[in-house]
């Protein structure tokens, strides 16, 4: 199985503080891969490197085995990646449907053809709209399409952000704490949704999440980092039994 996203020996320093120190990981195509670790472990910094929002000081980043180390954030979508953020970043004065369609901006085609409303442009617009409606139905947002996003509950706003990322038609989505701030019901729904679009749409997923229950349910493979370095990796079952992981999370020595 080929790796869609891979990093080797990533190091990032902020002044005299080492946020990431020689971290390596792989995200196989079609899988759900989790990245976990205690607070301050370096997860957010590494996640930002993987999504091209943070330049590393050392190490290499690859997409389908092609180096993308020097790529910029606006290259992310063209590489086939999309991401969500810890803090929801939506257009509150726009409708749910409009926010989803914004994610499809790279597929709108020739701007002049759209301005002139040529037949090809109109056909493409209809296709993008159909896909947006399909995504909305999958994410259980169909009844919210005409509502302003700012009026939606927090859990639904999380889904809108995910729907917008899916509208870009990425090969991989990087989810930054997708259930942070959600209640138990919203978390369970998002777990089902993540599994569904991974299976049915074939989208590869990498996620950072503090909710260990969700991580263990949806991930095929998990990387654990601590103090900015690789601590452990394995299946959910292996990670739950790993003494180093237990010690890092509980702060206890494990014999």
Residue 234 CA from chain centroid, whole number: 20
pLDDT tens-digit map of 15-46: 888 999 999 999 999 999 999 998 888 999 99
Tokens read off for 108: 């709108």
Residue 107 has pLDDT above 60, yes or no: no
The pLDDT of residue 114: 53
Rounded Cα gap, residues 26 and 218, in angstroms? 17
- Residue 251 pLDDT level (bands cut at 50, 70, 90): low
The pLDDT of residue 102: 83
Residue 168 has pLDDT above 60, yes or no: yes
3-state secondary structure of 18: strand
Query: pLDDT higher for 23 or 153?
Result: 23
Residue 109 has pLDDT above 90, yes or no: no
Spatial contact of 181 and 154, defined as CB atoms under 8 Å apart:
yes
Residue 219 has pLDDT above 70, yes or no: yes
pLDDT tens-digit map of 73-99: 888 888 899 998 877 777 777 899 888
Instruction: Please enumerate in sequence order all residues whose Cβ is within 8 A of that of 125, keeping only pairs 6 or more positions apart, or say none.
Output: 108, 114
pLDDT tens-digit map of 47-78: 999 999 999 999 999 999 999 998 988 888 88
Residue 245's alpha-carbon distances to 40, 52, 222, in angstroms, are 15, 28, 11
The pLDDT of residue 142: 87
User: pTM for the whole thing?
Assistant: 0.86
Going along the chain from its start, the domains and CATH numbers come out as 3-80+170-250 (3.40.50.300)
Q: Under the phi-then-psi rule, with left for phi > 0, alpha for psi from -120 to 50, and beta for the rest, what region is 112?
A: alpha
Residue 254 has pLDDT above 50, yes or no: no
């Amino acid at each position: 199985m080929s790796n869609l996203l891979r990093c080797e020996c990533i190091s990032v320093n902020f002044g005299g503080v080492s946020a990431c120190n020689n971290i390596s990981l792989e995200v196989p195509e079609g899988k759900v891969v989790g990245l976990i670790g205690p607070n301050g472990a370096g997860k957010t910094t590494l996640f930002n490197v993987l999504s091209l929002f943070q330049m590393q000081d050392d190490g290499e980043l690859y997409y389908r085995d092609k180096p993308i180390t020097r790529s910029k954030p606006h290259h992310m979508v063209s590489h086939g990646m999309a991401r969500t953020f810890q803090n929801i970043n939506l257009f509150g004065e726009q409708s749910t449907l409009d926010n989803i369609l914004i994610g499809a901006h790279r597929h709108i085609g020739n701007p002049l053809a759209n301005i002139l409303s040529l037949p090809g442009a109109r056909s493409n617009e209809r296709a993008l709209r159909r896909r947006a409606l399909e995504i909305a139905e999958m994410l259980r947002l169909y009844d919210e399409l005409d509502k302003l996003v700012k009026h939606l509950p927090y859990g639904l706003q999380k889904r809108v952000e995910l729907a917008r990322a899916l509208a870009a038609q990425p090969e991989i989505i990087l989810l930054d704490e997708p259930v942070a701030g959600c209640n138990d019901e919203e978390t369970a729904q998002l777990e089902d949704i993540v599994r569904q679009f991974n299976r049915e749409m074939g989208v590869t997923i990498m996620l950072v999440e503090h909710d260990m229950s969700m991580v263990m349910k949806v991930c095929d493979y998990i990387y654990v980092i601590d103090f900015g370095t690789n601590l452990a990796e394995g299946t959910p079952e292996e990670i739950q039994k790993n003494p180093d992981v237990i010690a890092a999370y509980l702060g206890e020595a494990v014999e």
